[in-house]
Amino acid sequence: MLIYLKNKHTLVVDDFSFKCCIGKNGIFKNKIEGDKKTPKGVFHIENLYFRKDRIKKIQSKLKSIPITKSMGWCDDVNNKKKYNKLIKVNKKIKHEKLFRKDTKYDLLIPIKYNYKKRILGKGSCIFLHLTKKYKPTAGCIALNKNDFLIMLKIIDKKTKIKII
């Protein structure tokens, strides 16, 4: 299965086309931390992370992991060991909180960009996540909740995302 970003407003999954939004500064091959660009390429996806206090029923072939208050995703360019990884929230490590007041991360799937051989400063925290008003993201790809739930029924752990 391939998720395909057809253009900056359309994500194609199987026979479905979903409205989406991407990074404020578009799609680029040479991404760096904080540039608000969505990375260009073909990437695997990670597990599904979700807020079990807000999302009651999920149909997905992905491994589903409840988000807790102690979860973060490291975007600290000074932390080689934890950069672009799931971490336990620590005030000494710069990170993106996964347990948020807004609904943006009620459902999220990390895109395995800069993942295996991580390069500090090349970009982190690139997710498929939720949006309500389709405002540009900091580099992620965002869908509305209903479309995300439909996508979850189709994709599996072998699914890749193609961003061109």
Q: What is the pLDDT of residue 1?
A: 86
Q: What is the pLDDT of residue 56?
A: 87
Q: What is the overall mean pLDDT for the chain?
A: 97
Q: What secondary structure, in 3-state letters, does the chain show?
A: CEEEEEECCEEEECCEEEECECECCCEECCCCCCCCCEECEEEEECCEEECCCCCCCCCCCCCEEECCCCEEEECCCCCCCCCCCEEECCCCCCEEECCCCCCCCCEEEEECCCCCCCCCCCCCCCEEEECCCCCCECCCEEECHHHHHHHHHHCCCCCEEEEC
pLDDT, tens only, 43-79: 999 999 999 999 988 999 999 999 999 999 999 999 9
Q: What is the pLDDT of residue 10?
A: 97
Q: What is the pLDDT of residue 46?
A: 97
Q: What is the pLDDT of residue 108?
A: 98
Q: What is the pTM of this model?
A: 0.96
Q: What are the structural domains, with CATH classification, of the chain?
A: 2-163 (2.40.440.10)
Residues of the chain falling short of pLDDT 50: none
